[in-house]
Structure 1
Amino acid sequence: MSLTRRTLIQSAVLGTAALASVAQAKPKTAIPPQKVSPNRRVLIQSSSRYHNSGYLDFAADQYEKLFQGEKPDLLFIPYARVAGSYDGYEKQVQDAFKAYGHKIVSIHRFANPQKAVREAKAIAVGGGNTWALVTRMYEAGILDLIRERVNAGVPYCGWSAGGNVACPTLRTTNDMPIAEPPSFNTFGFIPFQTNPHFQSSAGTQGLNNETREDRLEEFLAYNKDEEVIALPEGTALFLTGEYDCEVIGPKDSEALYWFRQGEKGMALERIPLGTKFDVRKIVPGGKL
């Protein structure tokens, strides 16, 4: 069943005439196509915590899927951390992954970050501010390198900002633009945008500020050829090969929110835990 966002939050539905007056997005600079290994494995996590969990301690099953019983050392990218040190962030992630049997080394320990990426056995990108993360990856010259290594089969996991950059661009981040990257383009492991940490405003009384749904509606109104999947906390997308994707997370996880181009403004569908789909179906008019 498909519901408009305005139905979802009990507000008025936007008319097609109003949307017709909205300026259209300029053409985006496409990410150059790359050959994708059938062994590619990408874990796109909404968050580092779930309800009252500790840091990443709810995600054992997700990492088991990603690493398939192997215990590779992880190159950690801490560049999304702003109000704190990379040393402290590295220690936090080391403590979390110790329980899963992985050694973590942050990229800031290496004199040559590009060499570190070229030699990485697996890559983890942490959450924080997406704008700072993307800016710093471009400055270090590693964004394209990470894309190449992961597309060639190096396992990747990223949570929050680190999950958001798995999209073609950072445009659906929730973060304040505190830095200016040379491009909005990110890794493009999936061909659609996601929105992490999603919490619906449905049923909220007396909410006068702009909601997350409002922001996503603006994105879709301006970008008529795009759709967005919003990930509630704890959930993840697990991508294998070029097109195969699965919704994973704790057993009591919420269904994902698929915000769509609708006949009368933004529409909503839900994608339950356990759903397997082809990522090429997340387009206007697509059906899983």
Structure 2
Amino acid sequence: MTVSRRDILSATLLGAAAMVSTVAQAKQKTPLKPMKVSPKRRVLIQSSSRYHNSGYLDFAGDQYERLFGKEKYEILFIPYAKVAGTYDDYEKQVQDAFKAYGHKIVGIHRFKDPQKAVREAKAIAVGGGNTWALVTRMYEAGIIDLIRERVNAGIPYCGWSAGGNVACPTLRTTNDMPIAEPPSFNTFGFIPFQTNPHFISGGTQGLNNETREDRLEEFLWYNKDEEVIGLPEGTALFVTGEYDCEVIGPKDSEALYWFRQAPKGMKLERIPLGTKFDVRKIVPGGKL
């Protein structure tokens, strides 16, 4: 059989059309359904569980005091991001950390019915680890929408690393390897923009490696309607009510990195510790 030049050209055009179609489909996502938010809502989005040479969460006492106030809680802990280890060991590590602050930690894996556990929880904490595993397991347990509903209704929420990343609308700006495949990238959407936890600027000296900025620039090129806030170690966003947010963290922590849409690539602004802003301002053209 002979193949004409016209056949080759037609096949090339069809392949290009298929590629465009694939890209268009890949970019589509199902927005989270609107949900009523209580003025009592309190969400702590933490970059990390450690800061410099600190122990596990022992630098975050002020952050938890902001979140929980003087009340002492029994906190439902979601350990699903843990991969290399057991849920029991992870629960014990978090119990030891929160004991210093007067709170009790109980892992969701202790309950036969995880959905009932979420419905009855007085506060929720989601730990770090692998974000893909975390989201996959939360979907399998049927608790994504339930947690979103309970927290938006007013129970306190804290999450560090992966547990902070899932406070965004999606997990797309995680740093983690995709070791699991969740049915959706959608997460809690407690804030309307994406964050990048554990943010470190620049590459490794002497190595021609890809930087975090490189990856986030690709995200912004592909998603023209979005912006990203990089959270350096130790820093956190404290969200109250529907729109109010404050940058908190240790006194010597870095300013946050606000990666912005630009005609070519991206531009950067910094958000200092103590800044208070409306979360609706983190959009292309927004100003704090």
Q: Does 1:26 align with 2:27?
A: yes
- Counterpart of 2:158 in 1: which secondary structure? strand
Structure 2 CA distance for aligned equivalents of residues 140 and 265 of structure 1:
39
Which residue number in structure 2 is paired with residue 207 of structure 1?
207
Q: Does 1:218 align with 2:221?
A: no
Structure 1 CA distance for aligned equivalents of residues 100 and 206 of structure 2:
43
Which residue number in structure 2 is paired with residue 269 of structure 1?
269
What is the letter of the counterpart of residue 187 of structure 1? F
Unaligned runs of 5+ in 1: 1-21
- Displacement after TM superposition at 1:210 (Å): 1.1
| 1:196-252 deviation digits (Å, cap 9, x = unpaired) | 0001017x5433111111000000000000000000000000000000000000000
1:54-133 aligned within 5 A: 54-133=55-134
Structure 2 CA distance for aligned equivalents of residues 179 and 127 of structure 1:
15
| 1:133-176 deviation digits (Å, cap 9, x = unpaired) | 00000000001100000000010000000000000000000000
Tell me the C-alpha RMSD between the 2 structures: 1.3
What is the letter of the counterpart of residue 214 of structure 2? D
- Displacement after TM superposition at 1:25 (Å): 6.5
- Displacement after TM superposition at 1:262 (Å): 1.2
What is the letter of the counterpart of residue 144 of structure 1? D
1:192-271 aligned within 5 A: 192-201=193-202, 205-271=205-271
Structure 2 CA distance for aligned equivalents of residues 91 and 38 of structure 1:
33
- Give me the TM-score of the superposition, normalised by structure 1: 0.90
- Displacement after TM superposition at 1:23 (Å): 7.9
Structure 2 CA distance for aligned equivalents of residues 110 and 165 of structure 1:
22
Structure 2 CA distance for aligned equivalents of residues 236 and 50 of structure 1:
12
Residue-pair matches, total: 266
Structure 2 CA distance for aligned equivalents of residues 205 and 95 of structure 1:
37
| 1:4-59 deviation digits (Å, cap 9, x = unpaired) | xxxxxxxxxxxxxxxxxx98962321000000000000000000000000000000
What is the letter of the counterpart of residue 57 of structure 1? D
- Percent identity over the alignment is 89
Structure 1 CA distance for aligned equivalents of residues 267 and 217 of structure 2:
9
Task: Return the index of the structure with the highest Cα Rg.
Answer: 2
Structure 1 CA distance for aligned equivalents of residues 182 and 47 of structure 2:
22
Unaligned runs of 5+ in 2: 1-22
* Equivalent pair of 1:48/1:55 in contact (CA under 8 Å): yes
1:181-192 aligned within 5 A: 181-192=182-193
More moved, 215-224 vs 22-31: 22-31
Which residue number in structure 2 is paired with residue 164 of structure 1?
165
- Counterpart of 2:237 in 1: which secondary structure? strand
**Judging changes above 3 Å, is the alpha-carbon distance between structure 1 residues 200 and 32 closer, same or farther for their aligned structure 2 residues?**
same
Greater helix share, structure number: 2
Structure 1 runs of 4+ aligned residues shifted over 6 Å read 22-25
Structure 2 CA distance for aligned equivalents of residues 24 and 229 of structure 1:
26
Which residue number in structure 1 is paired with residue 54 of structure 2?
53
* Equivalent pair of 1:23/1:222 in contact (CA under 8 Å): no
Which residue number in structure 2 is paired with residue 11 of structure 1?
none
Structure 2 CA distance for aligned equivalents of residues 141 and 60 of structure 1:
31
- Displacement after TM superposition at 1:263 (Å): 2.5
Structure 2 CA distance for aligned equivalents of residues 176 and 27 of structure 1:
22
Structure 1 CA distance for aligned equivalents of residues 261 and 25 of structure 2:
14
Structure 2 CA distance for aligned equivalents of residues 57 and 205 of structure 1:
30
Higher RCO (C-alpha under 8 Å, 6+ residues apart): 1
Structure 1 CA distance for aligned equivalents of residues 285 and 264 of structure 2:
14
